[in-house]
Amino acid sequence: MAMTGVLRPGHVQIRVMDLEAGVHHYRDVLGLEEMGRDASGRVYLKAWDERDHHSIVLRKADSAGMDFFGFKVDSEATLNRLEADLKQYGLTTSRIPAGDLLETGERVRFEIPSGHQIELYAHKSFVGSDLGQKDPKPYSPKFDKGIAPMRLDHALLYGPNVDKVLEIFTKVLGFHLAEFVTLPDSDIKGALWLCCSNKAHDIAFVVHPEPGKLHHVSFYMESWDRVLRSADIMAANDVKVDIGPTRHGITRGGTIYAWDPSGNRFETFSGGNSSYPDMPPIEWSWEGLGEGGGLDVAARKMHETFLTVVT
């Protein structure tokens, strides 16, 4: 598909209660590369196959969770157009100056009805990868440093008003709905998997009474074998696992969910189906999410922690 408008997830700022414990987890256990620290003490990291300066920002705070999730757009013109469209829809936007995040241009931030801060930006410094842009090498030692995901893949966010969130993402930002779950005894869409690309999803939402909650940040692995390898690394480093290794019915991706030292859930994810805007979304019932294997194909059940533990 032609990639225009909103291109992909670009970064997430995660709150951690012990900064150095968080850095150890994301840099040494997960295997991300530390790219810098700013004057406020935030730490910037990237995965080995990411080409822009960073995708993960860690901020020391009194509580765990997510400050904001950002998407890269294809140009300044698109950034200006989408800001105008968001205002026309009725959302309040703010401009964050270039340089507020290291190596990042001006950002447009807005709060969606689920209580989450979303932002768009057009520029971030291109730093490349160890493989190179011309005649790339087949291997880098960073492939085997820690869990070593390829990239930030998506986030799942919990909050109210997901019907309004769906409208904003599809009618204003140009995403398409790939899959959804209806609430029990209802046709109301209570969980959404949304795409700006042809991946299985780029962001997802589940209805929840408390606004602005983070369920997980997901990192993409090259293969199911690499997901299984990550289970060994988690065990060796006493990382607490929530679910997996298993496979989802929704998206058909292989997965492990686990927690960082502050209690933020993260996912190692591989595979997954493809989704295109001309495809009708796949519908799941609430029963299908649990007993039908939508969440966990192996166990064929809902896990209480999946529905209740958020930051």
Residues 72 and 182 in one domain: no
Catalytic residue among 25, 116, 154, 215: 154
Q: How many domains does the chain have?
A: 2
Task: Give the DSSP per-residue string, 263-275.
Answer: S-EEEEEEE----
Residues 58 and 205 in one domain: no
Catalytic residue among 33, 50, 179, 267: 267
pLDDT at 1 over 70: no
pLDDT in tens, 225-273: 999 999 999 999 999 999 999 998 899 999 999 999 999 999 999 999 9
299 assigned to some structural domain: yes
pLDDT in tens, 92-113: 999 999 999 999 999 999 999 9
Residues 107 and 164 in one domain: no
Q: Is 24 labeled as catalytic in the residue annotation?
A: no
18 assigned to some structural domain: yes
pLDDT at 3 over 80: no
Q: Which of 201, 238, 221, 204 is nearest to 21 (CA)?
A: 238
Q: Give the model's pLDDT for residue 307.
A: 86
Q: Which residue has the tokens 């019915």?
A: 249
CA-to-CA separations, 138 to 133, 150, 168, 221, 276, in angstroms, rounded: 12, 14, 41, 16, 30
Residues 269 and 215 in one domain: yes
134 assigned to some structural domain: no
**DSSP code of residue 52:** B
Q: Is 154 labeled as catalytic in the residue annotation?
A: yes
Structural domain that includes position 214: 151-308
253 assigned to some structural domain: yes
Whether 207 and 217 have beta carbons less than 8 Å apart is answered as no
> 40 has which bridge partners?
none
- Calculate mean pLDDT across residues 120-139: 93
Residues 79 and 15 in one domain: yes
74 assigned to some structural domain: yes
Residues 112 and 159 in one domain: no
